[in-house]
């Protein structure tokens, strides 16, 4: 009798699942499929073909997929290889208090997911959570700051982190909530397109982010030795600015972001910086119809653009650049290399880079599907409200992010562990050790 098991059947989304099938005819070719619906009802699916062993068993920790959405031994391949039925979709968890429900189906032949007549011989539903029991979610509406603070169970004090995403806007909480499950107190910070914040980004006002850093550091459950910043894309640009100008920031992770100012002016107290020019005519259209912005932005190495490069040598804390080498949106590898050279030229050694071949722009926590391209409507806006990438240009075409699915998945799994090690190391020291 066909049996399909997935253990644990309920777990955090960054935990692996052990998938096995038993009761199969010896050497039987079978199809394993996975599917889930996001909170808007959009479907994501994957499938892979396997051959049972001579005992009629199949263990994804050992058995290679022979075809389908991936090949080789990939125990979590059914999760990270999911693709949207809707073109240019991006899987995002909006409500961290409910799980994604992933349905695993076992078919006794090589079959297409699209076959309406095939019936699975066994099925299993797996719950993938983004919050652990006891985690406290505290809405933040203090001064200008808007976001949500996630506190682990217990008295603390906990290492504090500000978590920011990029041009999608709104408030995205799943990464902050997951980190709280690992013992960090994390402020998911919105900075446009949320509640009473500006609907569109118009400038980078660092005083807003300084207010958020001070708010987090003043919390009684936060370890008072300084805070960390975790950021991606436009958020990584802001995160680097925080590292350069705010003494409260002692550890910064920048995922695939620039090291200079783009698209919007920057303001901090009496300092005003202008962005490096961008060139719409340099955009390239991929065969999928998505647009690559790799050549869209001006070069920070040009003499006239130097005034828009962040003074990274002023950063007192540690900086970790996490780079996908197949990033098709930002030339993040070159930016990080320039930043490290800039540090070295000033006798500083407080930065390092993790480079992941084959990984794209949108590096997420482990086992999330690769998003190769997507639209960037603000998360809280209707679908007729494209984001503004420059002062007077609204961008409604999908953007290309890049990445090879298997390499991207390996990068996400490794980087997630490195991010936690980095913050544990640098947010638990005393100020005298920094």
- Cite the active site residues: 233, 327, 361
Torsion angle (degrees, nearest 10) of CA 83, 282, 396, 166: 70
Distance between CA 316 and CA 253 in Å, rounded?
14
Q: Please state, in angstroms and rounded to a whole number, the distance separating the CA atoms of residues 334 and 298.
A: 13
Query: Are the beta carbons of 343 and 320 closer than 8 angstroms?
Result: no
CA distance 4 to 19: 7
Which residues are 129's β-sheet partners?
Answer: 12
277: DSSP letter? P
**CA distances, 143 to each of 66, 197, 199, 218 (Å):** 56, 12, 18, 14
Can you give the three-state secondary structure of 73-119, one letter per residue?
CCCCHHHHCCEECCCCCCCCCCCCCCCEEEEEEEECCCCCCCCCCCC
CA dihedral defined by 319, 340, 189, 165, rounded to 10 degrees? -130
**Distance between CA atoms of 400 and 328, rounded to whole angstroms?**
6
């Amino acid at each position: 009798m066909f049996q399909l098991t997935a253990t644990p059947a309920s777990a955090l989304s960054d935990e692996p699942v052990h998938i096995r099938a038993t009761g199969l005819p010896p050497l039987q070719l079978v199809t394993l499929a996975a599917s889930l619906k996001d909170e808007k009802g959009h479907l994501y699916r994957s499938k892979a073909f396997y051959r049972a062993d001579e005992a009629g068993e199949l263990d994804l920790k050992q058995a290679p997929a022979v075809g389908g959405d991936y090949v080789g031994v990939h125990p979590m391949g059914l999760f990270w290889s999911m693709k949207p039925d809707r073109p240019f979709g991006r899987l995002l968890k909006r409500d961290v208090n409910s799980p994604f429900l992933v349905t695993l189906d076992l078919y006794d032949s090589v079959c297409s997911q699209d076959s309406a007549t095939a019936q699975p011989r066994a099925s299993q539903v797996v719950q993938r959570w983004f919050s652990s029991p006891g985690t406290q979610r505290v809405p933040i509406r203090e001064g200008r700051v808007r976001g949500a603070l996630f506190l682990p169970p217990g008295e603390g004090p906990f290492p504090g982190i500000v978590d920011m995403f990029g041009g999608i806007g709104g408030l995205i909480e799943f990464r902050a909530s997951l980190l709280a499950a690992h013992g960090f107190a994390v402020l998911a910070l919105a900075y446009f397109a949320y509640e009473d914040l500006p609907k569109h980004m118009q400038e980078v006002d660092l005083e807003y982010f300084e207010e958020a850093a001070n708010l987090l550091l003043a919390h009684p459950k936060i370890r008072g030795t300084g805070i960390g910043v975790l950021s991606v894309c436009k958020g990584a640009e802001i995160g680097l600015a925080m590292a350069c100008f705010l003494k409260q920031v002692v550890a910064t992770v920048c995922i695939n972001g620039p090291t200079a100012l783009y698209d919007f002016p920057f303001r901090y107290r009496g300092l005003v910086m202008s962005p490096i020019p961008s060139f719409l005519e340099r955009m390239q259209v991929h065969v999928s119809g998505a647009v690559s912005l790799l050549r869209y932005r001006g070069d920070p190495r040009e003499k006239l653009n130097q005034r828009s490069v962040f003074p990274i040598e002023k950063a007192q804390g540690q900086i970790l650049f996490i780079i996908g080498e197949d990033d098709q949106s930002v030339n993040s590898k070159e930016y990080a290399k320039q930043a490290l050279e800039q540090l070295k030229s000033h006798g500083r050694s407080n930065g390092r880079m993790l480079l992941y071949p084959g990984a794209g722009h949108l590096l997420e926590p482990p086992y999330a599907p690769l998003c190769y391209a997507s639209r960037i409507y603000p998360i809280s806006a209707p679908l007729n409200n494209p984001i503004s990438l420059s002062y007077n240009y609204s961008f409604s075409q999908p953007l290309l992010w890049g990445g090879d699915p298997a390499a991207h998945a390996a990068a996400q799994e490794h980087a997630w562990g490195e991010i936690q090690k980095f913050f544990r190391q640098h947010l638990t020291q005393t100020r005298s050790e920094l």
